Amino acid sequence: MTLECWAAGWADTTPGTARRMAAGTVFDLASLTKVVATTTAILALAGRGSLSLDDPVTRYLPAFAARWEGPSGASGPAEAFGPAVPVTVRHLLTHTAGLPDTRKFYQWCSSRQEVLGALYRTPLDARPGTKVVYSDLGFMALGEVVAAASGMPLDAAVRRLVTGPLGMRSTGFAPLAVPPARVAATERRGDGMPWTGTVHDENARALGGVAGHAGLFSTVADLARFARWWVSGDDRRNGHAGPVPAHLRTAAASCQTPGLGGCRGLGWVCRGDSFDFLGDGWPPTAVSHTGFTGTSLALDPVSGLWVVLLTNAVHFGRDHTAIKALRRDVHAAVAEALLG
């Protein structure tokens, strides 16, 4: 259940159109898209038998030609550095595919197809399965895997597999079914006006606003629905089968990458990872994720505790010092009050 919900601050500070936050404000979730939409859709497809996490990505994306070419500066074919290892769906979910963290495709690609072509040709920086490197590129590819395995565009697949079954009626990719006055503004453009209802992430924007790594918009109430379901341990929701079987949710919230320089579940950040922002008061079974715009989601399947924190911190600039401190303080306070 939800114990409390607060709304404070400003959804937009632009003179003449300034707006305060409200409980129903819609936020650009940024990288929360990775866990709420893409990871959950992949797991839903796996639960239905529509794909296997250990399938090679090329089964769904034949043009995916990313390959490891050996250590930097080395010469010769990749095979000279060991037998070829295909990138799998699991590698992408755990950020162990060997892909770099990001590439600014939006700077030289002028269409969705150009972005995807450049993505699929990106060389790997490491042999698949040997190293954790948080990668937007991996989740961009996963979004296309969802589309290929489901037979429908990513946004439609997420509605069918995730947000529809969970009753998340205010969650989706742009174009949004809500007026701009309900959407929290993000970073200001060169003309001084903020992005409002258009995805902040530049690569997601170049993909038309629908991408596996960013682009989802939602409200605190909808994310509360998502978190309550995730920690429920129940395979059913409102009398119907839930999006993801409980055993797959358990696996997703368990470290899949011991010894690889990070602690990643399937999509989720586990305790002890360098991206883990939860303090000592949270149990070792908790997982979390953040979004560049100032969003975060943390939950613990064992205690049932969860916290949704949605801000538009990037509206005030890209210095993340304040939002990082706020996250730490909020989650520490909740853990102390409810688990201490």
Mean pLDDT of 197-220: 98
Query: With bands split at pLDDT 50, 70 and 90, how would you rate the model's confidence at 313?
Result: very high
pLDDT for 277-304, tens place per residue?
A: 999 999 999 999 999 999 999 999 999 9
Query: With bands split at pLDDT 50, 70 and 90, how would you rate the model's confidence at 237?
Result: very low
User: What is the model's pLDDT at position 45?
Assistant: 98
DSSP codes joined into one string, 151-170? TS-HHHHHIIIIIHHHT-TT
CA atoms within 13 A on the CB side of 218: 34
User: Which residues make beta-bridge pairs with 12?
Assistant: 19
- Asked if residues 124 and 99 have their Cβ atoms less than 8 Å apart, the reply is yes
- Asked if residues 173 and 215 have their Cβ atoms less than 8 Å apart, the reply is yes
Give dist(CA 24, CA 223) in Å, integer: 12
- pLDDT > 90 fraction of the chain, expressed in percent and rounded: 88
User: What is the model's pLDDT at position 1?
Assistant: 82
Encode 212-237: b = buried (16+ Cβ within 10 Å), e = exposed: bbbbbbbbbbbbbbbbbbbbeeeeeb
By the 10 Å C-beta count (0-12 exposed, 13-18 middle, 19+ buried), 300 is classed as: buried
Q: Which residue has the higher pLDDT, 32 or 240?
A: 32
Look up the CATH architecture of domain 10-31+170-339.
3-Layer(aba) Sandwich (3.40)
Closest CA to 200 of 298, 79, 293: 293
pLDDT for 71-130, tens place per residue?
A: 754 544 444 456 678 999 999 999 999 999 999 999 999 999 999 999 999 999 999 999
User: What is the model's pLDDT at position 241?
Assistant: 59
pLDDT for 140-179, tens place per residue?
A: 999 999 999 999 999 999 999 999 999 999 999 999 988 9
User: What is the model's pLDDT at position 82?
Assistant: 62
| pTM to 2 decimal places | 0.95
In this model, does residue 23 exceed pLDDT 70?
Answer: yes
In this model, does residue 205 exceed pLDDT 60?
Answer: yes
User: What is the model's pLDDT at position 66?
Assistant: 82
CA atoms within 13 A on the CB side of 223: 30
Mean pLDDT of 180-186: 96
What are the two backbone dihedrals, phi and then psi, of residue 270, each rounded to the nearest 5 degrees? -95, 165
pLDDT for 157-167, tens place per residue?
A: 999 999 999 99
Q: Where are the domains of the chain?
A: 10-31+170-339
Which residue do the tokens 């114990």 mark? 3
- When the pLDDT of each residue in the chain is averaged and rounded to a whole number, the result is 93
**Other CB atoms within 10 A of residue 59 CB:** 16
